[in-house]
């Protein structure tokens, strides 16, 4: 099924897809795995714009596919993209919803084509599943707030030009995790709560459990939604909010790392 053109500044105008390709315009797709809340639509223009704000650059074409509604590129359409980003979701990556099983099959197609794929939170977990790993409920429960993760020597030394710090704060918002990596995958970062915060598979696939794209406003909004639905206790919400005052996510370092992977030629 075809995707919808995003109206972000770096996206092509209607009818420009082929023309942009002929001009050598780089193309990327966001596979949106959750519906936008009213707050995110009004404050940010939707999660698609949030990701383009983090990763997009002038002259690129970005398109959104609403994967949670079964909307994905065809295998032929996938050939026209330089990279893909898979977002977070309210759903479980280990679920058997038809759209999730369709996404798993599509990700295996992207792997066979050696397409660059960056997975965030649910995207991180569903990539692991698609490639032969396992996911499930986090053994230490919800991880919400600003968490400091520890990148491996692989990232710090081999990607020295990106200046990735040894302690890297990121916003976390998850209760599932990768239990076991796919064969031949490598752990790239860990935290006190989560053993697999990042992983790579070859040079073309990378998963991140945290949310480099989130800011304080999105995190506070999501915490309040969990409270309203009685999914967390007040003490957990207060601790998560307090973490924001203790440290700030290193958005610039995450931007360098994500862009370096998605658009560069990182060799591990």
Q: CA quadruple 258, 261, 264, 268: dihedral positive or negative?
A: positive
pTM of the model: 0.90
Predicted confidence at residue 3, as pLDDT, reads 47
C-alpha dist (Å) from residue 183 to 95, 128, 145, 170, 201: 21, 10, 31, 27, 9
236 found inside a domain: no
Q: 223-233 in b/e burial notation, b at 16+ Cβ within 10 A?
A: beebeeeeebe
Residue 157 lies in a domain: no
Q: What is the pLDDT of residue 17?
A: 41
Q: For residue 223, is it within any domain?
A: no
Asked, for residue 90, whether it belongs to a domain, the answer is yes
Q: Is residue 133 part of a domain?
A: yes
Residue 44: inside a domain: yes
Domain range for 258 is 4-138+178-213+251-263
In a domain, 245, yes or no: no
Q: One digit per residue, pLDDT tens: the chain, 268 residues?
A: 444 445 444 544 333 344 444 467 899 999 999 999 999 999 999 999 999 999 999 999 999 999 999 999 999 999 999 999 999 999 999 999 999 999 999 999 999 999 999 999 999 999 999 999 999 999 898 899 999 999 998 888 878 888 888 899 999 999 999 999 999 999 999 999 999 999 999 999 999 999 999 999 999 999 999 998 888 889 888 998 888 888 899 999 999 999 999 998 676 6
Whole-angstrom distance, CA of residue 59 vs CA of residue 19: 13
Q: What's the CATH code of the domain at 12? A: 3.40.50.880
Total domains, the chain: 1
Active-site residues, by number, are: 121, 211, 213
| Token couple for 203 | 């040079």
Q: With the C-alpha atoms ordered 141, 103, 107, 132, is the resulting torsion angle positive or negative?
A: positive
């Amino acid at each position: 099924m075809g995707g919808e053109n995003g109206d972000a500044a770096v996206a092509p105008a209607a009818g420009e897809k082929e023309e942009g390709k002929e001009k050598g315009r780089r193309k990327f797709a966001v596979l949106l795995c959750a519906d936008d809340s009213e707050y995110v639509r009004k404050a940010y223009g939707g999660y698609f714009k949030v990701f383009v704000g983090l990763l997009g650059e002038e002259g690129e074409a970005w398109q959104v596919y609403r994967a949670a509604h079964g909307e994905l590129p065809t295998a032929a359409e996938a050939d026209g993209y330089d990279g893909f980003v898979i977002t977070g979701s309210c759903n479980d990556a280990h679920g058997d919803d038809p759209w999730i099983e369709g996404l798993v099959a599509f990700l295996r197609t992207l792997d066979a084509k050696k397409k660059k794929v960056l997975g965030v939170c649910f995207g991180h977990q569903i990539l692991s599943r698609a490639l032969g790993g396992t996911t499930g409920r986090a053994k230490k429960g919800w991880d919400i707030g600003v968490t400091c993760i520890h990148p491996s020597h692989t990232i710090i030394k081999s990607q020295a030009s990106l200046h990735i710090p040894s302690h890297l704060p990121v916003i976390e918002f998850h209760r599932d995790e990768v239990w076991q990596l796919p064969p031949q995958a490598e752990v790239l970062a860990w935290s006190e709560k989560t053993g697999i915060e990042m992983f790579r598979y070859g040079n073309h696939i990378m998963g991140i459990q945290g949310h480099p794209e989130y800011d304080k406003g999105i995190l506070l909004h999501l915490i309040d939604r969990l409270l309203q639905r009685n999914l967390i206790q007040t003490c957990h919400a207060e601790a998560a909010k307090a973490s924001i005052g203790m440290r700030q996510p290193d958005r610039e370092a995450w931007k360098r790392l994500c862009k370096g992977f998605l658009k560069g030629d990182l060799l591990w």
